[in-house]
């Protein structure tokens, strides 16, 4: 007998912590079986998330470690998920890294590393997920991780901002290429979401300005309409909608989730 609550299979990259973990937990609660990915160095944290899902849900969860900047890793992840979970309906290309430095201090190696993970990694996830979805012939949802920094460049993070602007272009192009197959392609663009990732930005600004840890993050609240920072739950709520059938007429968009900090 079929399970009426079952929604399909989703891959979430960068899911060992933060926004990726939050998205994985939300999609499980929505009825998806999930494959969660992160780099091999985070396998213990990744397994903790998978075990949390298995303990608290009847949905299936598998760990698929790998480096999204390496094409053979991404291809292998997608193939393993199709083999073990029976297909692919949703790809969440969430994995990303950042560097806080002025342009003058940013090295070519740092520039290349960010682009390899944030842009090439997202491109590879889009490419190999779409290939499977087209073959399956039942449509699908592909979602990338943009940022408020992909809507407006921010100082001392030019490399990071540049990668997030690139994801907007990639998402728009992919949406036009794959729309005829019933595949929508969108991205979420978070503002200040309180995670370890944001904590790294906070630490950078504290070291430069003499602020106490947490003061920079706290000050961000004054620049948004809702007067507060977000959590992974807020981003996961948007993703939950974008992967649903109700969002079938939305594609090519990079949608802000920032509490009203930037209006476009």
204 carries an active-site annotation:
no
- Of 129, 132, 126, 136, the C-alpha closest to 187 is 126
Q: Which of 98, 93, 94, 105 is CA-nearest to residue 202?
A: 98
Which one is catalytic: 7, 126, 164, 188? Answer: 164
Q: Which of 160, 200, 212, 245 is catalytic?
A: 160
164 is catalytic: yes
Tell me which residues are annotated as active site.
160, 164
């Amino acid at each position: 007998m079929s399970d009426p609550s079952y929604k399909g299979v989703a891959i979430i990259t960068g899911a060992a912590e933060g926004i990726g973990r939050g998205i994985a937990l939300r999609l499980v609660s929505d009825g998806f079986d999930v494959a969660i990915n992160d780099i091999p160095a985070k396998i213990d944290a990744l397994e903790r998330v998978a075990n949390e899902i298995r303990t608290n849900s009847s949905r299936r969860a598998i760990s698929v470690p790998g480096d999204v900047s390496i094409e053979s890793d991404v291809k292998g992840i997608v193939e393993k998920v199709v083999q073990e979970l029976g297909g692919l309906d949703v790809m969440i290309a969430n994995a990303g890294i950042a560097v806080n430095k002025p342009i003058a201090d940013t090295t070519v190696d740092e520039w290349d590393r960010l682009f390899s993970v944030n842009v090439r990694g997202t491109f590879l996830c889009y490419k190999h997920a779409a290939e499977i979805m087209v073959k399956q012939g039942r449509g699908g949802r592909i979602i990338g991780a943009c940022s408020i920094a992909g809507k407006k460049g921010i100082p001392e993070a030019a490399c990071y901002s540049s990668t997030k602007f690139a994801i907007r272009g990639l998402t728009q192009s992919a949406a036009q290429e794959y729309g005829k197959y019933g595949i929508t392609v969108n991205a979420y663009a978070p503002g200040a979401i309180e995670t370890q990732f944001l904590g790294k930005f906070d630490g950078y600004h504290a070291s430069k300005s003499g602020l106490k840890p947490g003061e920079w993050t706290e000050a961000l609240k004054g620049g948004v309409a809702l007067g507060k920072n977000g959590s992974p739950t807020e981003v996961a709520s948007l993703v939950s909608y974008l992967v649903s059938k109700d969002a079938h007429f939305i594609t090519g968009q990079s949608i802000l989730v920032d509490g009203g900090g930037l209006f476009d």
